[in-house]
Structure 1
């Protein structure tokens, strides 16, 4: 990715041994005790400001009691925690930085201001949200003084005139950083985080093993809801969350291949096992075959496994023609 793409690939402390449900609380309870809205707590977790542990019994995550105590005992609580996760839109962000909305939007499209969240409003327009704390730091940095006032440089105006808008790509880079931070301890979680930003066809080309693709689907992060799954808002959100530029796609494909290779070495994807039935007394096994006849359901399972592995090259060219070929490619 280009140098102005923010990815924030940092790690988190691993879950400490002995953590139990009694020593942690559910997210809704944690948000109340920390004086945050649930969406603010989610963002604080993404930013690494609130440590979590896996909820092995119920899935998801929980907040340890000692983490809540640590945050509540910090100087400036709760105002400091709230200000660190406060988000603003274009209008409020421009006012915070003492500039016009048009200039703010130009800086964001150029990738100089990186959104942390987005939503689709009732008019099907994307509303980008930014960390107020980051905007204040940007405005206070003397190196950015020329960007805050005066005429935009000619080269930058030319890029904007060509339709440059790095907000979706910057959001994806930052969101991937969030996902990788949460998945630091599990290699398949990490691989699934990378795969979640790629189109399904791209994932299939990189990960040719169907059992590994199934593993990635199982660990795929649940995206934030933007209306019903088939609504225009959900489709627009899915488009934003999917890599679009070829260099970005190539970068993610390379990362995915490396992540799957690491996951394969550490914890191979499970595969169905074939079980044979012992031969009857007095019969002789045929050389080169199993010690006994396979059960019918096992034979069917073996056939399904062969289909999942894909047809032979000669068969592949025949199967890709016509309606069934198109369906086979779509499901691969």
Structure 2
């Protein structure tokens, strides 16, 4: 378990220099970018298949945005027909076991009826599907591998196991969950991790430095699952941008309209345990990249996805910009001075007037309102007897 995540590194010129060093003089969009991207990802994420796919291999999207043909059902109804709980069904969609479709970006995903029939007709349904989405914690995973719990924790902290989900317990500590299928598969492929008395040297170096790879690997897997769920280039860019804090995002995406569009397409926050401000703060920090090379990886990946999205369609902008303050002031009526010559006559030249002849301009004299002085004099007369009466009563 982990109580909280460290503070993300601040942006600055070193990221621009690092991007030029990895990507060449042309920046993230240069010709050397794909190879540099693979190098950074290989150094950061090792042998895990999720990140090797992100390093350049094609990801099969499980949610297509096309004109829906045939009968479709809602996600809740599909989970019932597949005999899955809500969390199991969401994980099956994220992992690509269940494909969804939708008409446009604003519509909610739905599951085609033929996809449900395909899954139900598979061998071993529904036990086989449930086993593929079964998750285990540290205690259950160590029982599956027949190793002490502290050894499995050290292997997970060293980056050998990648979490697929997490939640917060009542102490606001992060509890990591792993796919049972992946835990047993890695034990079969690398039995020396469980049987050798000493862990690999690279793992010992990481643990000695106090490094914990679980949050980092979880962020990378989450980015891979977000990319798999959509084929829209702007939504894919928004999934990568979700791992960067606003300071880094403003450096990569300088256009405010593009940042607003990415924020609108931002994936929903994960649901973890009790909903409280403290819990949301922990999860928000957990979703942001922390280390220098990790932040650089997401910046480079976002730059590449943005170039693809811009070539597909521009970000929406308002049709008419609001006028500036100076333009509003210039639109006010301007005082025109009186002409020096009479109307219809130019200095040194007599011209005949056109249209209806203009007559003399009459000036209306404003008279003061009558009756106001009489009212004042009448009020004065009324006050005089009262004042005289008061003076008579006060005299001895």
Q: Are 1:109 and 1:165, in contact at CA under 8 Å, matched by a contact in 2?
A: yes
- The structure 1 residue matched to 2:236, chosen from 187, 190, 195, is 190
Higher relative contact order (CA 8 A, sep 6+): 2
- 1:154 is displaced (CA, Å) by 4.8
- Is 1:85 the counterpart of 2:130 in the alignment? no
Residues in 2 aligned to 1:242 and 1:210: alpha-carbon distance in whole angstroms = 21
TM-score, length-scaled by structure 1:
0.78
- Is 1:170 the counterpart of 2:217 in the alignment? yes
- The structure 2 residue matched to 1:156, chosen from 179, 198, 203, is 203
- Of stretches 54-63 and 122-131 in structure 1, the one that deviates more from structure 2 is 54-63
Q: 1:19 matched to which residue of 2?
A: 68
- 1:86 is displaced (CA, Å) by 0.2
- Is 1:245 the counterpart of 2:291 in the alignment? yes
* CA deviation profile, 1:210-268 (whole Å, cap 9, x unmatched): 11111101111011123677622111111111000111111111111121121112110
Q: Are 1:52 and 1:63, in contact at CA under 8 Å, matched by a contact in 2?
A: yes
1:77 is paired with a residue of what secondary structure?
coil
- The structure 1 residue matched to 2:147, chosen from 78, 91, 99, is 99
Number of residues of Structure 1 aligned to a counterpart in Structure 2: 276
Residues in 2 aligned to 1:217 and 1:173: alpha-carbon distance in whole angstroms = 20
- 1:85-234 alignment, distance < 5 Å: 85-141=133-189, 144-149=190-195, 150-183=197-230, 185-226=231-272, 231-234=277-280
Q: Which runs of 5+ in 1 are unaligned?
A: 275-297, 307-332
Q: 1:59 matched to which residue of 2?
A: 107
- 1:36-51 alignment, distance < 5 Å: 36-51=84-99
1:176 is paired with a residue of what secondary structure?
helix
Q: Are 2:169 and 2:273, in contact at CA under 8 Å, matched by a contact in 1?
A: no
Cα 1:14/1:170, change in 2 over 3 Å: closer
- The structure 2 residue matched to 1:259, chosen from 300, 305, 312, is 305
Residues in 1 aligned to 2:260 and 2:298: alpha-carbon distance in whole angstroms = 19
* CA deviation profile, 1:262-282 (whole Å, cap 9, x unmatched): 1112110122233xxxxxxxx
Q: Which runs of 5+ in 2 are unaligned?
A: 1-40, 328-396
- 1:14 is displaced (CA, Å) by 6.7
Residues in 1 aligned to 2:114 and 2:191: alpha-carbon distance in whole angstroms = 42
Q: 2:116 matched to which residue of 1?
A: 68
Q: 1:290 matched to which residue of 2?
A: none
Residues in 1 aligned to 2:103 and 2:269: alpha-carbon distance in whole angstroms = 19
* CA deviation profile, 1:102-131 (whole Å, cap 9, x unmatched): 010011011111111111111111100000
Q: 2:324 matched to which residue of 1?
A: 303
Residues in 1 aligned to 2:65 and 2:312: alpha-carbon distance in whole angstroms = 21
* CA deviation profile, 1:85-107 (whole Å, cap 9, x unmatched): 00000000000011011010011
Residues in 1 aligned to 2:60 and 2:95: alpha-carbon distance in whole angstroms = 11
Residues in 2 aligned to 1:29 and 1:86: alpha-carbon distance in whole angstroms = 20
- 1:23 is displaced (CA, Å) by 1.1
Q: Are 1:4 and 1:111, in contact at CA under 8 Å, matched by a contact in 2?
A: no
1:233 is paired with a residue of what secondary structure?
helix
Residues in 2 aligned to 1:122 and 1:28: alpha-carbon distance in whole angstroms = 28
Residues in 2 aligned to 1:26 and 1:209: alpha-carbon distance in whole angstroms = 37
Cα 1:130/1:228, change in 2 over 3 Å: closer
Cα 1:58/1:196, change in 2 over 3 Å: closer
Cα 1:228/1:212, change in 2 over 3 Å: farther
